[in-house]
């Protein structure tokens, strides 16, 4: 395929010739500006601006023998959930003079493997990967000696660097909260367990907590829908048709909860007076909905910071230990004590 927009790219030598200095002087002006005379430096930066020169990060990385680019593979279905993680990760890496490139493949192991391969082909010096990966990905990274960190894995391979979240405990926390409020009839709205092991772990935590109190969550009160806002809306109608007596809905993410609350509003069911709603993640918007969403904070912002720090420590050949982050309840307005029919 012929590129209709051929590149007009200035090189380091172009800058040096235009500024009347050596390529070494231009390089020092960019990497060690304190070693270059002020007047010379000013001339070089004027030329850089005029020629729209952009340093070649890969060439610079090879010359300095230091990493510059970190690749992250976050499947499309997880981008909304992990937006805080990506932002926090990017901020940390920028503070270390590292660049983050995010690939968003489809939610399949084959697509994630392909994305990891392409990031390495583009010059990524390390990878950050969401969840567990296929064996061939680990083999590739090991063979090429590429540092990597797993984000939020449920069953990480032994010896891998990872930042995990205690999703099982998050499920316990959500169920505990509703039980303490007097609720006994529950529904769970989530995504396909095969594509979201983190949601499955939260569901297991919910079931375990209910069982400890002599309660059950019927299979017919569980929906598995694609990770979209309207999925929560569609699921509510299915659930209420099967179980009109439920008083509490556990949503596997704040995005689902948006659809749940909207559906209940359209059905003229008051939240939390008639049905309580709790979810997971603590996305930025969850505190600003009406009513504000009670949610279990999975601390995704902390996950991003810790993952970035772990990558830097791997580059420095420092010893590291896996990190598991503990969730916390964010009590807001969508849950309340169960009210008697007469109240």
Percent pLDDT > 90 in the chain is 64
The reply to whether 3 falls in a domain is no
Higher pLDDT, 57 or 86: 86
The reply to whether 337 falls in a domain is no
pLDDT 10s digits, 90-143: 999 999 989 999 998 887 788 888 999 999 888 899 999 998 888 888 988 988
pTM over 0.85: no
pLDDT of residue 143: 87
Residues 193 and 266 in one domain: yes
Distance CA 280, CA 278 (A): 7
Residues 256 and 149 in one domain: no
Higher pLDDT, 61 or 21: 21
Nearest to 137 by CA among 148, 152, 123, 122: 148
Residues 304 and 158 in one domain: yes
Residues 92 and 116 in one domain: yes
* Count of domains forming the chain: 3
**Structure confidence at residue 55 as a pLDDT band (50, 70, 90):** confident
The reply to whether 335 falls in a domain is no
Residues 83 and 198 in one domain: no
Give the domain CATH number at 239: 3.40.50.2300
pLDDT of residue 1: 44
Residues 175 and 278 in one domain: yes
Mean pLDDT value across residues 51-74: 74
Helix/strand/coil (H, E, C) string of the chain?
CCCCCCCCCCCHHHHHHHHCCCHHHHHHHHHCHHHCCHHHHHHHHHHHHHHCCCCCHHHHHHHHCCCCEEEEECCHHHHCCCHHHHHHHHHHHHHCCCEEEEECCCCCHHHHHHHHHHHHHCCCCEEEEECCCCHHHHHHHHHHCCCEEEECCCCCCCCCCEEEECHHHHHHHHHHHHHHCCCCCEEEEECCCCCCHHHHHHHHHHHHHHHHCCCCCCHHHEEECCCCHHHHHHHHHHHHHHCCCCCEEEECCHHHHHHHHHHHHHCCCCCCCCCEEEEEECCHHHHCCCCCCEEEECCHHHHHHHHHHHHHHHHCCCCCCCEEECCEEECCCCCCCCCCCCC
The reply to whether 322 falls in a domain is yes
Q: What's the domain range around 260?
A: 167-298
pLDDT at 183 over 80: yes
Residues 154 and 192 in one domain: no
Of 31-45, 158-172, 185-199, 242-256, the poorest mean pLDDT is in 185-199
The reply to whether 334 falls in a domain is no
Higher pLDDT, 115 or 195: 115
pLDDT at 79 over 70: no
Higher pLDDT, 297 or 117: 297
Residues 146 and 81 in one domain: yes
The reply to whether 5 falls in a domain is no
The reply to whether 243 falls in a domain is yes
Residues 84 and 32 in one domain: no
Residues 183 and 211 in one domain: yes
The reply to whether 175 falls in a domain is yes
Residues 234 and 158 in one domain: no
Residues 190 and 109 in one domain: no
């Amino acid at each position: 395929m012929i590129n209709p927009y051929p590149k007009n790219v200035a090189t380091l030598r172009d800058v040096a010739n235009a500024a009347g200095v050596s390529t070494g002087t231009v390089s020092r002006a960019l990497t060690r500006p304190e070693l270059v005379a002020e007047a010379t430096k000013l001339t070089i930066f004027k030329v850089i601006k005029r020629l729209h020169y952009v340093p070649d990060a890969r060439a610079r990385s090879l010359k300095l023998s230091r990493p510059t680019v970190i690749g992250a593979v976050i499947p499309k279905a997880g981008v909304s959930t992990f937006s805080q993680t990506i932002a926090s990760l990017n901020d940390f890496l920028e503070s270390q003079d590292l660049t983050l490139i995010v690939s968003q493949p489809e939610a399949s192991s084959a697509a994630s493997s392909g994305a990891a391969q392409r990031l390495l082909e583009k010059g990524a010096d390390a990878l950050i990967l969401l969840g567990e990966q296929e064996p061939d990905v680990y083999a590739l990274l090991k063979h090429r000696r590429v540092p990597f960190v797993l984000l939020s894995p449920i069953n990480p391979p032994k010896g891998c660097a990872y930042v995990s979240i205690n999703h099982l405990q998050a499920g316990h926390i959500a169920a505990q909260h509703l039980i303490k409020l007097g609720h006994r009839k529950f529904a769970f709205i989530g995504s396909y367990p095969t594509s979201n092991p983190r949601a499955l772990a939260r569901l297991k935590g919910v079931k375990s907590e209910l069982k400890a109190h002599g309660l059950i969550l019927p299979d017919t009160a569980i929906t598995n829908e694609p990770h979209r806002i309207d999925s929560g809306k569609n699921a509510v109608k299915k659930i209420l048709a099967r179980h009109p007596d439920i008083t509490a809905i556990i949503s596997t993410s704040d995005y689902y909860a948006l659809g749940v609350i909207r559906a209940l509003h359209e059905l003229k069911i008051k939240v939390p007076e008639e049905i309580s709603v709790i979810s997971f993640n603590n996305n930025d918007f969850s505190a600003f909905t009406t009513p504000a969403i009670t949610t279990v904070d999975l601390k995704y912002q902390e996950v991003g910071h810790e993952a970035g720090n772990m990558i830097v420590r791997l580059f420095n050949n420092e010893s590291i230990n896996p990190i598991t982050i503990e969730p916390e309840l964010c009590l807001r307005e969508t849950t309340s004590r169960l009210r008697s029919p007469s109240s």
